[in-house]
Amino acid sequence: MKTRKLGELEVSMIGLGCMGMSDFYGQADDAEAIKTIHYALDHGINFLDTADMYGPFTNEKLVGKAIKDRRDQVILATKFGNVRSEDGKFLGINGQPAYVKQAVEASLKRLGVDYIDLYYQHRVDKDTPIEETVTAMAELVKEGKVRYIGLSEAAPATIRRAAKIHPISALQTEYSLWSRDPEEETFATIRELNTGFVAYSPLGRGFLTGRFKSPDDIPENDFRRFHPRFQGDNFYANLKLVDVVKQIAAGKGVKPGQIALAWVLQQGQDIVPIPGTTKIEHLKENIDALDVVLSMDELKQLDDAAPIGATAGLRYGDMSTVNR
């Protein structure tokens, strides 16, 4: 497994997003999830991504159980800031220094570890200056509870302010063929600051794999049923991009999802995608995508099919917590 750098932190070329093992994408199986995590570790993927809100709280426990005897093989990333109650209700965003310290202690306990490799603020708290939040996070680094710090879905100006307080090793934001917004200003900002980029949902929440032919293909208890890009006319408009991905995949003898993942990987050596999956067979496909190389002509076809802003529908139904 080749590696890439997120600031000074070296991780496997792709990571494993663990959210779907506990939340949002329908019913998951813990035993199968742990097998999938172990398969990832056995095949060189050492970068695991979770958050306290996933579950809520159960995903960190699941990841902790999976890595209990393999901590030295893992670059462990988790997040704080999106506050949820035990019953799953969203209570808001909190970046207050006292909460940062409270949240890290809770995450360390659930994960069963002494330190977190990469600790993100999951969303920016508009009511707490980013300088105060990052100062509290920097104190965790001094205390040895956190090795590196990151931000998620932060705007370029916010990242610059944060970086004046402490180096920001990684920015995690949605990025794929159908979510190309970071290319407009964010990439230039983070590259100037030596901040790496972690791309979540690099397969367009599964849409770019060609799995969905109509909205009816989405399971009843899956949040994508309520996602703007998976609804009504938006769904069918976005299928046009999938058709191009499928055509290129067929020509290369690979899966559509592998084309989508290869595209992300070829956008920069400082980009680390973290596709999530609950199944080993899909994880194998993602690993094999590392061997897929897109030609300049193929890259142009994809660029032409999916220019910035072309995707129908918002990334989230409520954008109020994104890119402050």
Closest C-alpha among 175, 173, 200, 170 to residue 275: 200
Which segments within 13-143 are labelled E, that is strand? 16-17, 47-49, 75-80, 82-84, 90-93, 116-121
Closest C-alpha among 74, 146, 70, 148 to residue 114: 146
Which sign, positive or negative, has the C-alpha torsion 252, 254, 259, 265? Answer: negative
Please check whether residue 28 is in contact with residue 58, taking contact to mean a CB–CB distance below 8 angstroms.
Answer: no
Q: What letter would DSSP give residue 166?
A: S
Please check whether residue 56 is in contact with residue 22, taking contact to mean a CB–CB distance below 8 angstroms.
Answer: no
Residue 307, SS3? Answer: coil
The token duo for 73 is 């093989």
CA distance 88 to 104: 19
Closest C-alpha among 190, 174, 178, 188 to residue 275: 174
The token duo for 285 is 């496909």
Catalytic residues: 54
